[in-house]
Structure 1
Amino acid sequence: MSPEIGHYALVLALALALIQSVVPIWGAKQADAVLMGTAGPVALGQFAFVALAFAVLTQAYLVSDFSVENVFLNSHSAKPLIYRISGVWGNHEGSMLLWVLILALFSALVAAFGRNLPLSLKANVLAVQSWITVAFLLFILKTSNPFTRLSPAPFEGRDLNPLLQDPGLAIHPPLLYVGYVGFSMSFAFAVAALIDGKIDAAWARWVRPWALTAWMFLTAGISMGSFWAYYELGWGGWWFWDPVENASLMPWLAGTALLHSAIVMEKREALKVWTVLLAILTFSLSLLGTFLVRSGVLTSVHAFAVDPERGVFILAILVVFIGGSLALYAWRAPMLKQGGIFAPVSREGALVLNNLFLTAACAAVFVGTLYPLALEALTGAKISVGPPFFNWTFGPLMVPLLVVMVFGPFLAWKRGDLYGVAQRLTWALGLGVAAMLAAYATTSGGPVLAPVVIGLACYIIAGSLIEVAERIQLFRAPAATVWSRAKGLPRSAWGTAFAHAGVGVMLIGIVGETAYRQELIVQVRPGQTVSIAGYDLTFEGLFPEEGPNYRDVVARLQVGEGGVPAGVLNPAKRVFTARNMPTTEAALKTRGVSQLYVSPGDPAEDGSIALRLFYKPMVLLIWIGTLFMVFGGMLSLSDRRLRVGAPKPAARRAVAIEAAE
């Protein structure tokens, strides 16, 4: 397919987006069902044209059409197939096209499956969503056209950034973008509701599936990015408080608060104003992340663009959407009726406290990330805010949040019994204390508070399990009754338990990796053996290897454990021939949930090489915990109660019988 087809498809998508952004909302204002009904078909057509443009760009990468500038700059004919595909979004222009594709996909999903939505709300939601699409389609067509031609066409491409030629980077950006863009639906629902002036429990239930979907994908995307940085960048860390890492963490924190706030609104019709504000702020933080990555204000391994024109354009988008939505909120929010009243000690109170800590933590990350940029813009002074700031501001806010997180599900709505909940959590507290004492007894070195945090993590996991055990009457009722209650327990309850337990599992991994890891930097010669954490590593020498588009110098290490051979590790220094850019390929050996990590330095002329060795106890629990969280989100999303207005099977049968008669 000709790249010009992709360009024209984007122009046609822009035309449909302009129609979708005006006609349905005018129809809602005039109560004209025909005009409101145009939103659905137009949204589907818009998605079809954007999908066509994305397919055209993908084909250009697959066939190595170097007459397309974007393909020339980011591909190579010798590149493996998976990286030709991932190269489509491994650059600024292609990633923005993926961004808009996901945006159009969410609109199409609302158009196709939003049959239970009131017609006016659906029309307004799709119109607001289309406003965002118009802005980003204009941005692509004006500053970031992925279909620009080169004449004459080069014979060969410059290849993709070597750091991005990794399976993790093939998966990480799409997951992250679905999370970022998914929160646009919450934003669209919030703005549409403010336009209508009507927000109730049904609105919260309509918002929750979209917010939960975005949260799940954002969680998975952040986790995948963390794991990629851990094994690919060669420095052995899983989080560095990089500004662009923080840009993904902020909407995740706000989105987590939004999910919990929506629960209160759905159950008790309380926190309406707060829930709407969180929906606006969460997507606003997603837009902020887009600005940080693409404006050139930051230098990062995550950054795509350094063109000031692009930065100004995205800044204008931020001002319009964030400023406009907050102005609408300031105008309409006072008119919204408040919901039910609740006591401070209640499930609502616990969720409010949860929200306060999450938003305070988000504010701390926001200040630490943007303060250096603001200071440089105002005074020209350059400062950096490093991990110590975030550790000492973010960490203390998380501890009380984690304690409250366990209590919340046990408290009753409207008014709870704090003493009764404490009694029910006695076993969880006891297990936490036992885990803390066991950690003190079995570990040496490390921060003195590390065993306390391990105890807290075990308390969280046990509390999550006890909450489910009590609801199904485990050990208190006959097995048949327990099984029946377990099957009848709402999936959202199972999802909450898995997600909360996942936080505890992740916390154990974080403590194990940061507090008890061992590190050794050595220069080794062939035949030399070094030891770390009970492992003996014998360096056999350096061996050159050839890849499809790179050359490796592999350091081969025989690994022994207790005098018994335990495998081979092959860390390497890799040079990609097209860009002549070196990368570090770390080697990992897994034992249970712990890992031996070897990162090589540059080889010396005498055949020796510098090695950085790590032993990372329980490190894999970090990402296993996030998988638990995502799985919990999937269980909650599958809960029938989130499908508003879906009739029960019995009701459907009754309707069918009546129609037949």
Structure 2
Amino acid sequence: MVIEMIPEIGHFALIIALLMALFQAILPLAGAATRRPLWMAYARPMAAGQLAFLLIAYGCLTASYMLDDFSVINVADNSNSMLPWYYKFSAVWGNHEGSVLLWSLILGGWSFAVGCFSRALPPDMVARVLGVMGLVSTGFLAFVLFTSNPFARTLPNVPPDGADLNPLLQDIGLIIHPPMLYMGYVGFSVVFAFAIAALLGGRLDSAWTRWARPWTNIAWAFLTVGIALGSWWAYYELGWGGWWFWDPVENASLLPWLAGTALIHSLAVTEKRGTFKSWTVLLAIITFSLSLMGTFLVRSGVLTSVHAFANDPSRGLFILVLLGITVGLSLLLFALRAPRVSQPGAFNWLSRDALLLVNNILLVVMTVTVLLGTVYPLLLDALSLGKISVGPPYFNAVFVPLTVILCAFMGLGPSARWKRMTGRELVRRLALAGVLALVIGAAIPLLYHGEWNLKVAIGMVCALWLVLSLVRDLWHKTSGSSAGLTALKRLTPAYWGMVLGHLGLAVTIIGVTLVSNYAVERSVRMGVGDSIEMEGFTFTMTRLDERRGPNYISDAATIEVQRGDSVRRFIMTPEKRLYIARGMPMTQVALRPGLFRDLYIAMGEELEGDSWAMRFQIKPFVRWLWLGALLMAIGGLVAVVDRRYRRRLAIREPQVRDDSIESTAREVGA
């Protein structure tokens, strides 16, 4: 009896969670406005209770999948009795209803974490932050219950088996990718809540930025990992060998990442120098708004994609209204409160402040270009003004030059002083790094491939400029000490996080540059005994077999690979699978990964004479794309452990000092 009522228990838990979210939103905000400590004290218990009931609801939906309860529509549409248990577990969020429930659960988790780790904050600030997050939770839980109930039943007509999970989603990538992406999306709600709380309290000092910085870094790190995992999943699962196609759903995750990157830098300036206050608040609003817009694009049905689940217009309208209310009210509050904020602390246009401002402007311009290329075709279609396609040529033509300019300023930033410095001093510090980057970067195409390539040279110069400027800055910060190790120990985690972040971008640029220009691909017809040669490798098909998996059958080719005249050989086994429940064919690629190159084989359609269409690819340095993203994410997390984020914070403006007289030891704390 209890097992049969699991969906009802989950549904009831969702209703209780919605009520708790309402209490979390209304009472603490009202208490902060009327200075009632008892009302403000409800914030933390309500956040904890909301998370508890969301865990119950999510656990009930997971149990329904594991128990093959096909009386639940969500389970019947997205699972199957033959589906392996680990894919049943990930199938919970491999659909619209489950993914929105996961979003709500993660939002509840972030609210609970803020409540636990904000003991040093003033009670009114905590109340406002958790109250704003309660409002966001209320909107999403209402969306789940009224338009996307994951516990709806098919009773009394229960199907004997399920329709199965989309074969594209039956992969380890789905188990990791969406939770990481959602942790990033939803994590930006914290800095959004801090910004709105600061506006409501009329206290836009630098303290709120110090409270918000760790949460922003964590969310940005999760989003970075989530985007990288999505790229990796598309690379090996879709069978075409690409890692980014400027798909609207891909862009939906890139937009908040770009704005979040600008936000991280702007928060640093506001905390350190007390400037950019209004701009930082606006970036916090924009970043979370773009996260919500990404949810609208993927969940509204306006896009057709393997990532996009919903196709019910009522759902799209609900999210659009929620997005409009959130963005509209936030911007209205910003317009009313921001003019009261003063901007103490002038700076020279040749300073770290100015360079970070240019950094922000470039990142925002990049965000706008991607946003226009993504949304403009959808607007034309919605207004019945025709259909157009905006693809890689547009994005590459606009995005790549902006990235090159961004790298130029990023290399200058770490070596520049706050507030002001002379051009002669900046040139003296970075002249050697710039010359070495130009000479080595321009020579790498000749050394690597024997033929000069302008695009490769530009990419390598950018990457080397980032790396060498960091090396120069590290040398500058440690060379003045007689004990270099002691000087290194004085460098703060925030500084090391910056180093890893910039180094990760350089590694990613190297991967993008080399794989985009030097990848080799051949499509051939191949049968047993046939061979081809590519880039010093010999690929020979030695056999064809039929195989059976837990819920599919496949044709598998055994490819023997030999490099040059080496006696060492290895086997690669691409497959063409047919998933039984859906009758859907899928390509399972064979990969031979390596730090400096990947061998990639995809099996196409069966041809006459027991032969198959085969695609062979050699992808140099493709792994560096994801290695760089991992370094960037680690950098974001390293910065969080800085001791100043664990201290009780005073509610006052920081004393701004002239860095021209600061010692090197203090300079490294930036």
TM-score bin (small chain): over 0.9
The amino acid that maps onto 2:280 is T
Matched residue, 1:114 = 118
Question: 1:133 and 1:499 mapped to 2: Cα distance?
Answer: 31
Matched residue, 2:638 = 635
Matched residue, 2:228 = 223
Matched residue, 1:29 = 33
How far does residue 646 in structure 1 lie from its aligned partner after superposition? 7.5
Deviations 1:402-430 (A, max 9, x none): 01111101111111233323322234224
Matched residue, 1:568 = 571
When residues 477 and 122 of structure 1 are mapped into structure 2, their CA distance, relative to the original with a 3 A threshold, is closer
How far does residue 477 in structure 1 lie from its aligned partner after superposition? 5.0
The amino acid that maps onto 1:31 is R
Out of 483-492 and 275-284, give the one that drifted further.
483-492
When residues 569 and 19 of structure 1 are mapped into structure 2, their CA distance, relative to the original with a 3 A threshold, is same
**In the alignment, is the contact (CA less than 8 A) between 1:428 and 1:460 conserved in 2?**
no
Question: 2:39 and 2:481 mapped to 1: Cα distance?
Answer: 57
Matched residue, 1:451 = 457
**In the alignment, is the contact (CA less than 8 A) between 2:594 and 2:623 conserved in 1?**
no
Is 1:55 aligned to 2:48, yes or no?
Answer: no
Identify the match of residue 83 of structure 2 among 79, 101, 104: 79
How far does residue 379 in structure 1 lie from its aligned partner after superposition? 3.6
Matched residue, 1:587 = 590
Question: 2:447 and 2:389 mapped to 1: Cα distance?
Answer: 39
Matched residue, 1:436 = 442
Runs (4 or more) in structure 1 with deviation over 4 Å come to 444-447
Question: 2:595 and 2:98 mapped to 1: Cα distance?
Answer: 39
Matched residue, 1:367 = 372
How far does residue 550 in structure 1 lie from its aligned partner after superposition? 1.1
**In the alignment, is the contact (CA less than 8 A) between 1:223 and 1:626 conserved in 2?**
yes
Deviations 1:490-517 (A, max 9, x none): 0111111111011011000001110111
Question: 2:427 and 2:173 mapped to 1: Cα distance?
Answer: 43
Matched residue, 2:542 = 540
> Cα RMSD between the aligned structures?
1.5
Matched residue, 1:165 = 170
Which one scores higher on RCO, CA 8 angstroms, separation ≥ 6?
2
Matched residue, 1:88 = 92
The amino acid that maps onto 1:295 is S
When residues 445 and 304 of structure 1 are mapped into structure 2, their CA distance, relative to the original with a 3 A threshold, is farther
SS at match of 1:449: helix
Question: 2:269 and 2:649 mapped to 1: Cα distance?
Answer: 22
How far does residue 338 in structure 1 lie from its aligned partner after superposition? 1.6
How far does residue 145 in structure 1 lie from its aligned partner after superposition? 0.5
The amino acid that maps onto 1:330 is A
For normalisation by structure 1, the TM-score amounts to: 0.95
Question: 2:231 and 2:132 mapped to 1: Cα distance?
Answer: 33
How far does residue 446 in structure 1 lie from its aligned partner after superposition? 7.9
Question: 1:642 and 1:407 mapped to 2: Cα distance?
Answer: 27
Question: 2:233 and 2:174 mapped to 1: Cα distance?
Answer: 7
Deviations 1:584-623 (A, max 9, x none): 1111113432111111111224211111111111111111
Matched residue, 2:400 = 395
SS at match of 1:66: coil
Identify the match of residue 550 of structure 1 among 552, 555, 562: 552
Matched residue, 1:462 = 468
Matched residue, 1:614 = 617
**In the alignment, is the contact (CA less than 8 A) between 2:366 and 2:399 conserved in 1?**
yes
For normalisation by structure 2, the TM-score amounts to: 0.94
Question: 1:611 and 1:419 mapped to 2: Cα distance?
Answer: 59
Deviations 1:248-302 (A, max 9, x none): 0000000000000000000111000000000000000000000000111111121
How far does residue 32 in structure 1 lie from its aligned partner after superposition? 1.0
Deviations 1:550-604 (A, max 9, x none): 1111111100101223311111111111111111111111343211111111122
Matched residue, 2:357 = 352
Deviations 1:337-360 (A, max 9, x none): 223111111111111000000000
Matched residue, 1:332 = 337
Question: 2:474 and 2:71 mapped to 1: Cα distance?
Answer: 59
Question: 2:111 and 2:344 mapped to 1: Cα distance?
Answer: 30
Deviations 1:314-352 (A, max 9, x none): 011011001111111111111112231111111111110
How far does residue 643 in structure 1 lie from its aligned partner after superposition? 2.3
Matched residue, 2:301 = 296
**In the alignment, is the contact (CA less than 8 A) between 2:505 and 2:629 conserved in 1?**
yes
Matched residue, 2:659 = none
Question: 2:435 and 2:22 mapped to 1: Cα distance?
Answer: 61
The amino acid that maps onto 1:616 is K
The amino acid that maps onto 2:150 is P
Question: 1:57 and 1:255 mapped to 2: Cα distance?
Answer: 32
Question: 2:291 and 2:379 mapped to 1: Cα distance?
Answer: 19
Residue ranges of structure 2 left out of the alignment (5+ in a row)? 651-670
The amino acid that maps onto 2:524 is V
**In the alignment, is the contact (CA less than 8 A) between 2:207 and 2:649 conserved in 1?**
no
Identify the match of residue 103 of structure 1 among 91, 107, 128: 107
Matched residue, 2:243 = 238
Within 5 A, what are the aligned runs for 1:526-537? 526-537=528-539
SS at match of 2:324: helix
**In the alignment, is the contact (CA less than 8 A) between 1:541 and 1:607 conserved in 2?**
no
Question: 1:444 and 1:364 mapped to 2: Cα distance?
Answer: 35
SS at match of 1:50: helix
SS at match of 1:425: helix
Matched residue, 1:272 = 277
User: What is the count of residue pairs matched by the alignment?
Assistant: 643
Counting aligned pairs with the same residue, the percent is 47
Deviations 1:293-313 (A, max 9, x none): 011111112111111010011
Within 5 A, what are the aligned runs for 1:299-310? 299-310=304-315
How far does residue 458 in structure 1 lie from its aligned partner after superposition? 1.6
**In the alignment, is the contact (CA less than 8 A) between 1:526 and 1:539 conserved in 2?**
yes
**In the alignment, is the contact (CA less than 8 A) between 1:559 and 1:568 conserved in 2?**
yes
Matched residue, 1:522 = 524
**In the alignment, is the contact (CA less than 8 A) between 1:16 and 1:46 conserved in 2?**
yes
Question: 2:9 and 2:474 mapped to 1: Cα distance?
Answer: 55
Matched residue, 1:655 = none
When residues 625 and 133 of structure 1 are mapped into structure 2, their CA distance, relative to the original with a 3 A threshold, is same
Deviations 1:21-74 (A, max 9, x none): 111111111111111111111111111111110111111112222121111111
**In the alignment, is the contact (CA less than 8 A) between 1:540 and 1:556 conserved in 2?**
yes
SS at match of 2:433: helix
The amino acid that maps onto 1:211 is T
**In the alignment, is the contact (CA less than 8 A) between 1:465 and 1:497 conserved in 2?**
no
SS at match of 1:531: strand
Deviations 1:606-644 (A, max 9, x none): 211111111111111111111110111111011112224
Out of 415-424 and 66-75, give the one that drifted further.
415-424
SS at match of 2:426: helix
**In the alignment, is the contact (CA less than 8 A) between 1:46 and 1:104 conserved in 2?**
yes
Question: 1:12 and 1:590 mapped to 2: Cα distance?
Answer: 48
Question: 1:558 and 1:251 mapped to 2: Cα distance?
Answer: 44
Out of 519-528 and 501-510, give the one that drifted further.
519-528
Question: 2:474 and 2:58 mapped to 1: Cα distance?
Answer: 45
How far does residue 467 in structure 1 lie from its aligned partner after superposition? 1.9
Residue ranges of structure 1 left out of the alignment (5+ in a row)? 648-661
**In the alignment, is the contact (CA less than 8 A) between 1:492 and 1:637 conserved in 2?**
yes
The amino acid that maps onto 1:26 is A
Is 1:145 aligned to 2:145, yes or no?
Answer: no
Question: 2:595 and 2:221 mapped to 1: Cα distance?
Answer: 26
The amino acid that maps onto 1:436 is A
Within 5 A, what are the aligned runs for 1:595-614? 595-614=598-617
SS at match of 2:414: helix
Is 1:188 aligned to 2:190, yes or no?
Answer: no
Matched residue, 1:43 = 47
Question: 2:384 and 2:162 mapped to 1: Cα distance?
Answer: 42
Question: 2:595 and 2:529 mapped to 1: Cα distance?
Answer: 29
The amino acid that maps onto 1:468 is L
